Amino acid sequence: MRALFELFLDICLFRKGPQDLPAGMALLKLCLLGYGLSGFVVLQLSTPAPVAILQILLDLVLLAGLLHLALLARRHPRRFEQTLSALTGTGTLMGLLALPVMTWIVGQGPEGDIQLPSLLLLVLMAWSIAIMAHILRHALDVPVWVGALGALGYTFLSWTLTGWVGG
């Protein structure tokens, strides 16, 4: 388990890519579960449980669906398991890093000073988008700027759609 954690950390630090993960459904299921649970715990701080569950499911369907379409378009459908494992595994780590920051923000209340934790959360979001761009660049065999556009597009689409569920 430690080796797997270190592998995902190396992907987050841009030292490795999705191709370095072992392919397999067992790892993918583990990563999907971790992603869903970490997302739920973070969302649960500010969102009712049924809404949080719907938002996570929508995000996972969107992530897997768009990734599948992109890999098909680039003629790399066999990379799906490794790429989705990389995205959800690193997403789990980022969610765990966001948890104390979100707890800090929620703990401040409506009148609290949230400038520093909000800045930290913004940095985590930017890092998360950069990680996704890095993974997409490798998986799709595209320049980094194309991966960045894909990561930004997915992120804004996900925020918009999950916001409708929560709004």
pLDDT of residue 87: 98
* pLDDT one-digit tens code per residue, 43-100: 999 899 999 999 999 999 999 999 999 999 999 999 999 999 999 999 999 999 999 9
Q: Is pLDDT of 167 > 70?
A: no
**What does DSSP assign to residue 120?**
H
pLDDT of residue 84: 98
pLDDT of residue 126: 97
The stretch 9-37 carries a mean pLDDT of: 96
Q: How far apart are CA 29 and CA 33, in angstroms?
A: 6
The stretch 97-119 carries a mean pLDDT of: 91
The residues near 137 (Cβ < 8 Å, ≥ 6 apart) are 17, 143, 144, 146, 147
pLDDT of residue 100: 96
The residues near 163 (Cβ < 8 Å, ≥ 6 apart) are none
Distances (CA, A) of 64 to 35, 114, 119, 121: 12, 33, 29, 24
Structure tokens at 36: 């869903």
Q: Is pLDDT of 101 > 90?
A: yes
Sign of CA dihedral 57, 2, 83, 23: negative
Would you call 74 helix, strand, or coil by DSSP? Answer: coil
pLDDT of residue 42: 95
* pLDDT one-digit tens code per residue, 115-141: 999 999 999 999 999 999 999 999 999
Q: Are 119 and 55 in contact (CB under 8 A)?
A: no
